Amino acid sequence: MATRTDLDGRPIKLMTICMIGAGGFIGSHLCEKLMSETPHKVLALDVYNDKIKHLLEPDSLPWAGRIQFHRLNIKHDSRLEGLIKMADLVINLAAICTPADYNTRPLDTIYSNFIDALPVVKYCSENNKRLIHFSTCEVYGKTIGSFLPKDSPLRQDPAYYVLKEDTSPCIFGSIEKQRWSYACAKQLIERLIYAEGAENGLEFTIVRPFNWIGPRMDFIPGIDGPSEGVPRVLACFSNNLLRREPLKLVDGGESQRTFIYIKDAIEAVLLMIENPDRANGHIFNVGNPNNEVTVRQLAEMMTKVYAKVSGETVLESPTVDVSSKEFYGEGYDDSDKRIPDMTIINKQLGWNPKTSLWDLLESTLTYQHRTYAEAIKKSIAKPSAS
């Protein structure tokens, strides 16, 4: 490999990266990128490795020896500190991060996103290890604009809805709206990391992903995950399309999101990894402000794209409305709108997202169809045991 240089033209030092949560959606793409495009070593920690199996086997892979999987639960495993000590950089992705869990398993959610992350921060601080911690766009909660009257002209003013790392407030609902257990736990761990930086000199970067989507996200219920499980919206809608069921729109599908292709987002993370002088001490929004849709529009676009890639016809009634209480249960609430401000990441790393929503859905739904269509057909054909 030719000498690789950072954004300031300096040679990039070879690193050993301890990646916690490496077996998940983002972790699998980050491992893939690090193996195929860099010479860095990865200590991949997770409870599962199904999504990175293709990187671990067979032994003849060009990167064999550069990625090592350690099956462990960071809640209770004495190997964690030793693995952190072996690394130059720690990336923490481990979390419960599916909204269906926030109001139904609030304790697990708070423990996972705050308590379980504490030893990671402590070991990094005590051993002078750089930390890239994955937080979330949900720390912003609701927009200021959502509290204005529906017909207020101020709702059109970006000052009332664009989310900025250094100035936007974090607006959550009441305590009984347990949806916010996740955002609140993520906010507190961000504050703790920031304080470790300020008081003890911890070198850190905090990433706030804005709805990264793509292949390998979550699971398809009844195929590679529990039949009653509720994954994030991409997998929910993929599951509906694969089964030829109407897509379920929660509370009318009026919430707005900006979706970014996982491969664009991973480029941003690689820049953070390899440009510590530009990334340390910063909190970065990572999203695609150009890909904003309502959830209803997302459903309509996914329906069209799926018809194109599968060759199947569209259902007569492609969507159905459900209440959030019916779909998620008591205590659900929602972020109304999520547009990331890109000033800081642009200035520090010169990064911009590239892929349009249509294009990213086309490649993702092609993957979903290729990976799951046969398995779903078989599962439907199989008479259920009664």
Ligand X SMILES: O=c1ccn([C@@H]2O[C@H](COP(=O)(O)OP(=O)(O)O[C@H]3OC[C@](O)(CO)[C@H]3O)[C@@H](O)[C@H]2O)c(=O)[nH]1
From residue 175 to residue 214, the character string flagging contacts with ligand NAD as x (rule: CB under 6 A) and all else as - is ----------------------------------x-xx--
**238 counts as binding ligand NAD under rule CB under 6 A:** no
CA–CA dist 286, 209 (Å, integer): 5
Q: Edge-to-edge strands of the sheet including 67-71?
A: 67-71, 41-46, 16-20, 89-92, 130-134, 204-209, 282-286
The first and second tokens of residue 111, run together, are 């423990």
When CB distances are held under 5 to 8 angstroms depending on the partner's kind, the choice from ligand X, ligand NAD, none that residue 74 binds is: ligand NAD
Q: Which of 30, 184, 233, 273 touches ligand X (CB under 6 A)?
A: 233
Backbone angles phi, psi at 39, to 5 degrees: -95, 10
Q: Which of 241, 249, 272, 357 touches ligand X (CB under 6 A)?
A: 249
When CB distances are held under 5 to 8 angstroms depending on the partner's kind, the choice from ligand X, ligand NAD, none that residue 250 binds is: ligand X
Number of H helices, E strands in the chain: 14, 15
Q: Which of 120, 295, 357, 376 touches ligand X (CB under 6 A)?
A: 295
Binding to ligand X (CB under 6 A) within 142-201 occurs at 182
Within 67-160, residue ranges assigned H as helices are 79-86, 99-102, 106-113, 118-126
Tell me the Cα Rg of the chain. Answer: 21
CA distance to 49, 134, 209, per residue, from 266 (Å) = 19, 12, 10
Shortest CA distance to 232 belongs to which of 339, 98, 120?
98
Contact status, residue 122 vs residue 255, Cβ threshold 8 Å = no
Binding to ligand NAD (CB under 6 A) within 63-122 occurs at 73-75, 93-95, 97, 112, 116
When CB distances are held under 5 to 8 angstroms depending on the partner's kind, the choice from ligand X, ligand NAD, none that residue 75 binds is: ligand NAD
Contacts of 2 (CB under 8 A, 6+ apart): none
When CB distances are held under 5 to 8 angstroms depending on the partner's kind, the choice from ligand X, ligand NAD, none that residue 101 binds is: none
The first and second tokens of residue 82, run together, are 């030793």
Q: Which is nearer to ligand X, 217 or 342 (CB)?
A: 217
Q: Is 182 a catalytic residue?
A: yes
Among 102, 123, 140, 182, the one annotated catalytic = 182
Distance in Å, CB of 5 to ligand X, minimum: 33
The first and second tokens of residue 61, run together, are 């892979």
Shortest CA distance to 105 belongs to which of 30, 181, 16?
181
The region of 7-15, 191-199, 229-237, 372-380 touching ligand X under the rule CB under 6 A is: 229-237
The first and second tokens of residue 3, run together, are 């000498």
Q: Which is nearer to ligand X, 257 or 369 (CB)?
A: 257
- Name the closest residue to ligand X (Cβ): 236
CA–CA dist 275, 225 (Å, integer): 37
Q: Which is nearer to ligand X, 80 or 249 (CB)?
A: 249
Residues of the shown chain interacting with ligand NAD in the complex, contacts defined by CB under 6 A? 21, 23-27, 46-48, 73-75, 93-95, 97, 112, 116, 134, 136-137, 209, 211-212
What residues act catalytically?
182
Residues of the shown chain interacting with ligand X in the complex, contacts defined by CB under 6 A? 97, 99, 136-138, 182, 211, 232-233, 236, 248-250, 253, 255, 257, 295, 334
